[in-house]
Amino acid sequence: MATFISHSPAATFGLGEAWARQVVPGLVIGLSGDLGAGKTQLVKGLAKGLGVSARVSSPTFALVNEHPGGRLRLFHLDLYRLDTRAQIESAGLESYLSPAGVSVIEWAERWFETPDATADCPRFRPRLYREVRFEILSADCRQITYEDFGF
């Protein structure tokens, strides 16, 4: 597990931009953290690093925004308005778990973390997955921890 301390939105943007140089097709990046923690800012940096020229905003009401035109197609999902795993599954979003590009999912814990996960029935993760957690330390400081699975 790695930790990055961001002291500004520009630093969070820069982290996303740096990650864009390393991402591979099929990667799913799951973002978790409170409102205003910097999740969308990271996606904006990732988009810029991929060469996406379109404006990136949180797809809260659309659920998914697709951004072609970069080195890889970027799929940006926001699960904030979906409360349960059943709602997410009924929304038909499974294809974004094996993307022909890169999927970034805000509020990913709503899909991948289950309260009844055990050793016999572990929680679900996509094949190539980066789990990212944002913690607000102060008004201008964020702790971003991340871990890769399947690489």
pLDDT tens per residue across span 32-47? 999 999 999 999 999 9
Largest CA distance in the chain: 45
Q: Does domain 2-145 have CATH number 3.40.30.10?
A: no
pLDDT tens per residue across span 62-99? 899 999 989 999 999 999 999 888 898 899 998 999 99
Q: Give domain limits for the chain.
A: 2-145
Q: Output the pLDDT for position 59.
A: 79
User: Percent of the chain scored above 90 by pLDDT?
Assistant: 72
The b-or-e profile of 37-48 (16+ CB within 10 A means b, else e) is: bbbbbbbbbbbb
pLDDT tens per residue across span 107-123? 999 888 765 554 554 56
Q: What is the pTM of this model?
A: 0.91
